Amino acid sequence: MESKGHLVVLGYGDVGKSIVSELSGGPFRFVVVDSNEKVFENVEFEHLVGNGADEEVIVAAGVKTSSFVFVALNDDTNVIFATLICRGLNPEATIVARANSVKSIDKIYKAGADYVGSLSIVAGQMLAKMSANCIGKVCRIDEDIMLYEGIEIEKHHIEKGSYLDKKSIEELDLERRIGCTVIGIERGGLVSTAINKQTVLRAGDIVAVVGSSKQITEFKEKYLD
C-alpha cells in the first residue's frame, strides 16, 4: 500500500461493481473494500474484507496515499462517515461518493466529497472515460464528460502568453477563487492525473478541469478568453 496514486473503492455493491468492471484489465492499481467476504469469491483483484466506514479498514486500504476514493456504500450515514474519514486522512485525494438519497447530497458534500452522484452508473461512467488509453498514472482524456447535476469535466488548451503559463496549482488557487479543480494535464499527447499544489502549468498543455457549468464558464472567462 506504499505506492501513491492507486484508487480505493469502498463498497462492492452495484456501484462498486460498475467501477471495478471499468478498472479490471486496465493499468490502474485499485483496492476494493467490502464487509461481505462472499462478494470476493472468485475475484482476482486486490481487496480487503471490512467495514468501509471504519477508519482502521480505510487506512489499511491505503487511502492516505490514494489519488481517487470512490465511496460506494449502501447506507448514506456510512457514506458521510467514510467521506469524513477519507478527507481527513488524505486532503489531496479526489473523493467521488454515492448518495443513496437525494436528501443526503448536501451532507455528503459537506463531509468532504468532491463529487456526489445519486445514480449508480455515474461513477462507473466517469472511470470509463478517465481510464481510457492509460499507462500507469498517465492517460489520455478523449472527451468531455457531463456528470451529475451539471458537474462536468472539460479540456482547455493553454496558449502561449496565457496567464496560466508557468503558474502552479497553488498560485492559481482555483478551488478557493472559483470552485473548479484541475484534475489532469495533457502534455505531449499524454495526461498526468498526479496533480498537486506544486504542479506547474505550461503553454501547450491541455488541462482537464472539473466543476459546475457556471464555475467552468467563469474559469474560461477569467483565464482563457
225 residues of the chain, pLDDT tens digit each: 333 568 999 999 878 888 888 788 777 789 999 999 999 998 989 999 999 999 999 999 999 999 889 999 988 899 999 999 999 999 989 898 988 777 788 889 889 998 887 654 444 555 455 444 444 444 444 445 555 445 667 788 899 889 999 999 999 998 889 888 887 788 887 767 677 888 899 999 988 887 777 888 899 899 886
CATH 3.40.50.720 in the chain is located at: 6-120
Taking the C-alpha atoms of residue 71 and residue 123, their distance in angstroms, rounded to an integer, is: 10
CATH 3.30.70.1450 in the chain is located at: 131-224
41: how many CB neighbours lie within 10 A of its CB?
7
145-146 and 151-157 strand pairing: antiparallel
Residue 18 contacts residue 81 (beta carbons within 8 Å):
no
Question: pTM to 2 decimals?
Answer: 0.56
Taking the C-alpha atoms of residue 106 and residue 73, their distance in angstroms, rounded to an integer, is: 17
Residue 96 contacts residue 71 (beta carbons within 8 Å):
yes
C-alpha distances (whole Å) from 60 to each of 20, 80, 82, 160 are 19, 19, 13, 45
C-alpha of 134 from chain center: 15
Going by the DSSP 8-state scheme, the letter that residue 185 receives in this structure is E
Which CATH code of 3.40.50.150, 3.20.20.70, 3.40.50.2000, 3.30.70.1450 fits the domain covering 131-224? Answer: 3.30.70.1450
Residue 185 contacts residue 199 (beta carbons within 8 Å):
yes
Q: Which superfamily is assigned to 6-120 in CATH?
A: NAD(P)-binding Rossmann-like Domain (3.40.50.720)
